[in-house]
C-alpha cells in the first residue's frame, strides 16, 4: 500500500495543504495520507506557534470528509494530566525538542509492512531548505519524496536544493532554470516525484494576518476550521 506522510505546522491547515495532499494521493495512488502537525517544527523554534492541541483539532476537522486522510499524533507532545479536561484547549503551547522528520519517518516505518511504500509530501518552498534538515541524506534515502511545485519554482530550484553529494553538477542543472518542476528525479540515494504546480496561493502566515485584522477567512479554510478559529479566537490580536 502507498502511504503519504505530510508534516507541517498547520497553523492553521488551509486549502493549499489539502490541494497538495489531494493531488499527491490521486497521482501516486496513496491509500492513506497522514497529516502530522509538528509540536516543534525545527525551523520555527523561535517564533510563536498556536498550541499543538488547536492545530491538531483543526487538522482533524479539515480531513474529516476525505477517507484517505488521517490526522496523526506522530509528532505530538507528551500530554500530562493537566492537559486533560476543561482547561485543555487553553493550555499554552509547551515546547519540547524539535521534531525531526528523519525520526518521524523511522518511527512510522516500524509500524509499516514490508510491502508498504512511504512517500514524504512537501511543498517546494520547504524543500528548498532540505540540505539543512537533520540527517538530510539519510531522510532522502528512507522514502520517496513528492515535492509539490508552487508558482515561480523551476526544476533547477529543486535539483539545486539537494544536499551536497546528491546534487547534480551546476552545469547539468543550469539549463533547467526555465523548466517547470515536474516529472521524476531518480538518482542514487533518492527518488523525487515532482507534482506540478498546486495553484493555491495561500499561506498560513497570510491567514493569521487576515484573522488578526478581523477579515473573513472562508475562502482559504475548510468551513469547520474557519468556525473553529472564530470560536476559539485564534490569531486575534493579543490572543
Ligand atoms: P507558514 O505561512 O506559517 O510558514 P505554510 O502555509 O507554509 O505556513 P506549513 O504548515 O508550514 O504551511 O507547510 C506545510 C507544508 O505544506 C510545507 O511542505 C509547505 O511547502 C506546504 N504548503 C504550504 N502552503 C502551500 C500551498 N499554498 N500550496 C502547496 N503547498 C503548500
Q: Which residue has the higher pLDDT, 168 or 26?
A: 26
DSSP string, 174-230: GGGGGSBS-EEEEETTEEEEEE--------HHHHHHHHHTT---TTTS-HHHHHHHH
String of DSSP letters for 117-143: EEEEEEEHHHHTTGGGSTTHHHHHHHS
Count of other CB atoms within 10 angstroms of residue 73? 13
Has residue 59 been placed in a domain?
Answer: yes
Asked if residue 239 is part of any domain, the answer here is no
Tell me which of 9, 39, 149 to substitute to probe ligand 1's pocket, judged by most ligand atoms within 8 Å of the beta carbon.
9
Q: Output the CA 94–ligand 1 centroid distance in Å.
A: 22
Higher per-residue confidence, 238 vs 18: 18
Domain-embedded: residue 96 = yes
For the segment 78-82, the average pLDDT, to the nearest whole number, is 62
Assigned domain for 68 exists: yes
Strand partners, 142: none
Domains contained in the chain, number: 1
238 inside domain: no
Among protein residues, the one whose CA lies closest to atom 27 of ligand 1 = 16
91 lies in a domain? yes
The residue among 155, 137, 143, 141 whose CA lies nearest residue 197 is 155
Distance, CA 19 to ligand 1 centroid (Å)?
Answer: 11
Domain that holds residue 220: 2-232
Q: How far apart are CA 149 and CA 194, in angstroms?
A: 7
pTM: 0.91
Sign of CA dihedral 117, 158, 20, 57: positive
Sorting pLDDT into bands at 50, 70 and 90, what band is 94?
low
- Here the CATH number for the domain that contains residue 121 is 3.40.50.620
> With 80 as the cut, is the pLDDT of residue 89 above it?
no
Assess whether pLDDT exceeds 80 at residue 48.
yes
Q: Would you state the pLDDT for residue 47?
A: 80
157-209 pLDDT tens trace? 888 899 988 887 766 666 666 666 667 888 888 899 999 878 788 999 999 99
In a domain, 164, yes or no: yes
In this prediction, residue 232 carries a pLDDT of 95
**Residue 14 within a domain:** yes
Contacts from 213-222 at CB under 8 Å and sequence distance 24+?
A: 219/15, 220/14, 220/15, 221/12, 221/13, 221/14, 221/15, 221/62, 222/13, 222/15, 222/18, 222/61, 222/62
Amino acid at each position: 500500500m502507498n502511504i503519504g506522510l505530510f508534516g507541517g505546522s498547520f497553523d492553521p491547515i488551509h486549502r493549499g495543504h489539502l490541494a497538495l495532499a489531494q493531488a499527491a494521493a490521486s497521482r501516486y495512488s496513496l491509500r492513506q495520507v497522514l497529516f502530522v502537525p509538528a509540536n516543534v517544527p525545527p525551523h520555527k523554534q523561535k517564533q510563536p506557534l498556536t498550541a499543538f492541541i488547536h492545530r491538531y483539532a483543526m487538522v482533524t476537522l479539515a480531513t474529516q470528509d476525505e477517507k484517505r486522510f488521517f490526522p496523526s499524533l506522530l509528532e505530538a507532545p507528551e500530554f500530562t494530566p493537566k492537559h486533560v479536561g476543561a482547561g485543555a484547549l487553553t493550555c499554552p503551547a509547551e515546547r519540547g525538542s524539535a521534531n525531526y522528520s528523519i525520526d518521524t519517518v523511522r518511527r512510522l516505518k516500524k509500524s509499516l509492512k514490508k510491502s508498504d511504500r512511504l512517500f514524504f509530501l512537501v511543498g517546494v518552498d520547504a524543500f528548498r531548505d532540505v540540505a539543512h534538515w537533520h540527517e538530510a541524506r539519510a531522510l532522502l534515502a528512507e522514502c520517496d519524496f513528492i515535492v509539490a511545485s508552487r508558482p515561480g519554482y523551476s526544476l533547477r530550484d529543486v535539483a539545486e536544493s539537494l544536499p551536497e553529494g546528491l546534487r547534480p553538477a551546476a552545469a547539468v542543472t543550469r539549463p533547467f532554470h526555465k523548466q517547470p518542476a515536474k516529472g521524476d528525479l531518480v538518482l542514487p540515494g533518492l527518488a523525487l516525484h515532482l507534482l506540478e504546480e498546486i495553484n493555491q496561493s495561500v499561506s498560513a502566515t497570510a491567514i493569521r494576518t487576515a484573522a488578526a485584522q478581523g477579515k473573513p477567512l472562508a475562502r482559504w479554510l475548510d468551513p469547520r476550521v474557519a468556525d473553529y478559529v472564530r470560536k476559539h479566537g485564534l490569531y486575534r490580536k493579543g490572543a
